Amino acid sequence: MISMTKVAGVIALGAALIGQAHADNNVKIGVAGPLTGPLASQGKDVENGARLAVEEINAAGIKIKGVPLHLSIDSEDDMADPKTAVTIAQKLVDAGVVGVVGHLTSGTSVPASKVYSDAGIPEISPSATNPVLTRQGFATAFRVIGDDAYVGRVVAQYLTKTAGYKRIAIVDDRSAYGQGLADIVAEELKKDGATVVDREYVTPNTVDFRGVLTSVKSSQPQAIFYGGVDAQAGPMRKQMAGLSMKVALYGSSIETDNFIKLAGPPSEGTISAQAGQPLESMPGGKKFIDQFKKYGPVVLYAPYAYDAVWAFVHAMEIANSTNPKDFLPAMKKVNFQGVTGTIAFDDKGDLRSSSVTLYQVKDGHYQPIQTVHLK
């Protein structure tokens, strides 16, 4: 006859094993981006996109090693600051996350990427487009959006071949994103036979562009390309109007309501390039818009963050493990139809195929005018 002590011991052991099995599949995903400051709306957009994916995954009953997968989010504010991003990256690693959706900007993603590489934890940026991110040789760096090499080429070709401009001025904010993209645009413009008549620099904190714009105006450009974010591009466009500058403004990732609000009526005609397709044209775009309503309207990068979380889960399924040591190699085998398009990574961690869309402000709203498919 088995004693009650032994029975209790067996039950306790069984409960412990079950608890451990469930603990193994209680998986924490990090989200890193600006939740305060000028880019807070975009950072929160990324966080909400990731949260929507987590909610759906937890409800789907996906099993890893026979145990239901349960995800949770650890969201941290990097304030769009490179030094803070490194600190946040280490904090997420120490917290035991198995993967990170982030960072938002190239200026934060690139320095943080070494922390994730050292820890062997995959990082998928939904928005960082500087080519350097995936060209450092880190097996942990990925993105679910096209990079600036393609965006810059499309912008330059539109300026020279579609608009027919020969004289373009360039201003950038000297950030990893802004200056990196501006450098590519300048190079591509020269290849297309155009002249960069002036090259000016500001900082990510500049609010008064009138001195720089006065210099640009004297060079008599037909258009200005700005490498920077919507929070600055808006005031810059408004100040252009104040100086009676009637040239077109071009940028990238400034196709937001925030830009139009800050620029006011002078925003009309502004053109912005963005990696990816218009939300309504994305394979899962219309459904995503409906599902995302509880968080409000999509700002920019929510669907990319959503796809990033699913990329982690597909890799876990392939490896049948939630341990990043096991599923990191499987990231290169991921291939699925996401909201934004086909998610499949090349050897560098970039998408195997991508697209770039140009948007123009018409009647007070950004509207897509052209999509170029690449690779």
Q: pLDDT tens digit string along 240-293? A: 999 999 999 999 999 999 999 999 999 999 999 999 999 999 999 999 999 999
Q: Does one domain contain both 257 and 173?
A: yes
Percent of the chain with pLDDT over 90: 92
pLDDT of residue 178: 95
pLDDT of residue 8: 42
Question: Does 7 score more than 90 pLDDT?
Answer: no
Q: How confident is the model at residue 9 (pLDDT cuts 50, 70, 90)?
A: very low
State pLDDT tens for residues 154-165: 999 999 999 999
Nearest to 82 by CA among 103, 100, 67, 101: 103
Percent of the chain with pLDDT over 70: 93
Q: Does one domain contain both 252 and 369?
A: yes
Q: How confident is the model at residue 18 (pLDDT cuts 50, 70, 90)?
A: very low
pLDDT of residue 169: 98
Question: Does 172 score more than 50 pLDDT?
Answer: yes
Say if residues 331 and 316 touch (Cβ distance below 8 Å). Answer: no
Q: Does one domain contain both 361 and 247?
A: yes
Q: Does one domain contain both 158 and 243?
A: yes
Q: How confident is the model at residue 17 (pLDDT cuts 50, 70, 90)?
A: very low
Say if residues 128 and 177 touch (Cβ distance below 8 Å). Answer: yes
Within-domain flag for 349: no
Nearest to 292 by CA among 59, 50, 49, 74: 49
Within-domain flag for 15: yes
As a whole number of angstroms, the distance between CA 183 and CA 214 comes to: 22
Within-domain flag for 185: yes
As a whole number of angstroms, the distance between CA 248 and CA 324 comes to: 47
pLDDT of residue 375: 66
Q: Does one domain contain both 201 and 95?
A: no
- The residues that bridge with 3 in the sheet, in sequence order, are none
pLDDT of residue 24: 54
Half-sphere exposure of 97 toward its Cβ, with a 13 Å CA cutoff? 26
CB burial of 162-181 (b: ≥16 within 10 Å; e: otherwise) equals: eeebbbbbbbbbebbbbbbb
Question: Does 343 score more than 60 pLDDT?
Answer: yes
Torsion of Cα atoms, 207 then 209 then 210 then 216, to 10°:
180
Q: Residue 180 carries which side chain, given as an amino acid letter?
A: G
Within-domain flag for 188: yes
pTM reported for the whole predicted model: 0.87
Within-domain flag for 350: no
Continuous H helices in 123-252: 148-157, 176-191, 210-218, 230-242
Report the run of H or E that residue 225 belongs to, with start and end: strand 223-227
Its sign, for the CA torsion 230, 30, 324, 25, is negative
Within-domain flag for 184: yes
Residue 303 DSSP class: H
Q: How many domains, the chain?
A: 2
State pLDDT tens for residues 21-42: 334 579 999 999 999 999 999 9
Q: Which domain holds residue 370?
A: 149-275+356-374
Read off the CATH number of the domain in which 221 is found: 3.40.50.2300
State pLDDT tens for residues 286-326: 999 999 999 999 999 999 999 999 999 999 999 999 999 99
pLDDT of residue 1: 43
Q: How confident is the model at residue 374 (pLDDT cuts 50, 70, 90)?
A: confident
Question: Does 96 score more than 60 pLDDT?
Answer: yes
Longest dimension (CA), the chain: 99
Average pLDDT over residues 138-144: 98
Say if residues 274 and 356 touch (Cβ distance below 8 Å). Answer: yes
The secondary structure of 29-87 as a DSSP string is EEEEE-SSSTTHHHHHHHHHHHHHHHHHHHHHT-EETTEE-EEEEEEEE-TT-HHHHHH
**Pairing label, strands 271-275, 354-362:** antiparallel
pLDDT of residue 25: 76
Please give the mean pLDDT across all residues of the chain: 93
